[in-house]
Structure 1
């Protein structure tokens, strides 16, 4: 019985094969077990791998929010505190000058009460009519360049009010004589300014000699008195600083009052907005464009005068913030050029030539301070590097 069934199945299979071979549409031979296994597994595995590869290439990786880099609009450097009453650590002053362009000066001997009294007297200047019309002529420009026709002695460009006094005693003797604290405070800052230049000249890789001692350059000391409005500590501070007046200088000095707890704002060497955390009762020293040229580009500079961001007195809506900055600068007829070393002594070449010394070729052309000061003062902190046109 089993043999009969087997024979019947074989006959049926044979008949089916005959029909497939002789039918109208031929059929492919059945796959071998090995081919059948490959056709079911290998192509599908390859397709899956290829799909995964395409997915990795085409789909961006999902990043978690904390891992994304934060976009920072302000740079918050931490400059060193340089002692004045004793020798600083080796390399401390050089690092402050070359890496930051500013530093805090401690142990300077300027009394904090004197600084506060000078600020109080400065505030009265903005209500005084004893200053000649258009006080901005103190920087050396002509009165008609700034006269707006209202007879006001205060430069009211932007939101800040600015007064400039010649602390060297040229032209503002009567004004300062009626303000004893301000006069004494200005004299103290003058002495510190010259001492800082000597510090920068004495250290290794600093200025090539002190140009003031050699009487190559004639100094000027300007007291820059600014009344900052109540908008100083708002989000509009950046645009406000872009409208602030600026003037070329060697070093700037500003007493850091105890009540100024919030950071200063300033424009850095590359045009960035920087914040400077105050150190109470220290002197904030900034290096200016002239210092950068004298160092042949080794020192960084601060393009603007640092401005406080908090109202120091009662904090009321109508209060203002008075800041005092002494700018140690030069006479307008000076030619500014790098202080380059020679084989025997420092060469103070002010003719704009290419003086080559031990530190390599000069990086700046010589230029007239008056022309440069006019451009810097009127362009109001330009986006472009103001010294760019003088670089070699």
Structure 2
């Protein structure tokens, strides 16, 4: 394993009193496996009671949580964390209110566990269906934002899973304080504390063990930067639910309604810059490029968006920067947009096939047949017709909260909500049938 994962931080190990990280992670794994077995028996009402109890304990511990967060912020400033990281790390009363509200929202969501669907009768007289069940033990590795600790715990709990949460070292004190609120809520509802365990050591060796414990952990979900996710996907011996990039496209077809196209293309880029479902490349059909590109350029200029275009784009917008080959596969997460003029839907889909990260791609068109082709042939986790890429989100899809967005093709794809944290098993109902 690379040094980035196995490097041992002796100071953090000593600070938490954990010297044998491998043995510590083994204990967490064994406890999580036992808790996952217990969680399969838990009724929805008990899960909801635990979530509501967590919310009450968090509300009661506001001063302790904020004091812990202040220590993390002080340490972060001392170690040179930039302003963006400090903002993600910071908690205040409003963010605590949002975390408490989030626990209530998850409690209000329908429980997918135990649902049986597809039940059908066979000639033998048996009935065959599928039941939704928890995945088991979920390991979640994330950076900076302590609110993820509550989000991940609540979603794993409601979907009947046990989880092991490993937050970033910069949020150690905050996560420890939140873990105490979670543990008290679990105990109040009569559930094992090991159903949600927050890794106490910031030693990076802990991550290496967590992603290599298939006997205890059923799936890993990394949340963070591309380098973290690439490393975990490469080194893990446990299945990983992930996405690496959000290189999202909007293609404006020649039949598109101009006002719809303008609104969608501007919103997809400017509503928020730092999200994985923000458009990074605009493709525009040649017959409408000359009429639409100047209008789009003015709108982007009002938002301070830098445009980088192909040769055909720069013939219409000569003042913009030329796009390089690297721009077509760039996830800027910034007010920068690559623009390309294409000759029809075939060229647009060829570009998307070559450069897309299979996250979210949109077509703007009034042609039903082209819309259907785009939906069928573009191989992304979300394919959208006549709407912004920014809708590729668990809340907007009606899933409630989400643990992340997956661009994998197996198990979960797209926004991963409660159902994405479950799997299905076959169930069979008989009345004494035997196979001849």
The answer to whether the superposition gives a TM-score over 0.5 is: no
> Which structure is higher in RCO with an 8 Å CA cutoff and minimum separation 6?
2
TM-score in terms of structure 2 length: 0.22
Bigger Cα Rg: 1
User: Which protein has the bigger helix share?
Assistant: 2
TM-score in terms of structure 1 length: 0.24
